[in-house]
Amino acid sequence: MCAADSHKDSARPVNLNPRSRDQSKRGRIPCPLRSIHEGPDTLKTIILLAVAAALLVAVFGPKASVGGPMTIAFVLFLATLAVGVYEAVSSKRGPFGWILNIVLAVIGGLAVAMFAGPAIFEPIILLFPVNGSLASSGHPLFYIGYASMAVLTVLGSWATLQLVNKLR
């Protein structure tokens, strides 16, 4: 083995993405899990997916007195779970950290949802009187309310994790 073979530059991986600007990522096989820790875009994606899921459930989901709100609560629970898992993966937590992140994300997100629900829907009901319930009327403010609930729930979950991270 000669000295040139042991040099780092000669063992560079082949560039699989010639259009890649970041030289440190060249030669890696693209994997969705590698990009999780790369910034706040993942949180924006979680927010957009939570809003889309909440709106889909509001439009096409059950309209029953118990089934509709429980389905929305389940969607918000899944969004807070996604925030907890995202933060655990991005911070490279151990098993105890995973459990703690997920529990804190769910508690924080659902606590915000519990207080934000009346804060969003009560003014809508008082300012814009509708005949019957807001859900049965199909008023556009109903869908705006559910979208804002999804955003506030995800942000509450994230804020809880950020607060705990400051205290660690």
Angle value at C-alpha 25, between 20 and 26, nearest 5 degrees: 65
User: Which of 80, 54, 90, 66 has the alpha carbon at shortest distance from 156?
Assistant: 80
Whole-number average pLDDT of the chain: 78
pLDDT digits (tens, 9 = 90+) for 69-116: 888 889 999 999 999 999 888 888 888 989 999 999 999 998 998 888
Angle value at C-alpha 79, between 73 and 80, nearest 5 degrees: 90
Q: What is the pLDDT of residue 127?
A: 80
User: Would you place residue 33 in the very low, low, confident or very high pLDDT band (cuts 50, 70, 90)?
Assistant: very low
CA distance 149 to 143: 10
Q: What's the half-sphere exposure (Cβ side, CA atoms, 13 Å) at 141?
A: 14
Contacts (Cβ under 8 Å, ≥6 apart) of 119: none
Q: What residues does each domain of the chain span?
A: 41-167
Q: What is the pLDDT of residue 4?
A: 47
The number of residues making up the chain comes to: 168
CA distance 63 to 53: 15
pLDDT digits (tens, 9 = 90+) for 120-163: 878 877 787 777 777 777 778 888 888 998 999 999 999 999 99
Q: Burial of 85 by CB count in 10 Å (0-12 exposed, 13-18 middle, 19+ buried)?
A: middle
Tell me the CA distances in angstroms from 100 to 22, 60, 138, 154, one per residue in order: 34, 34, 39, 17
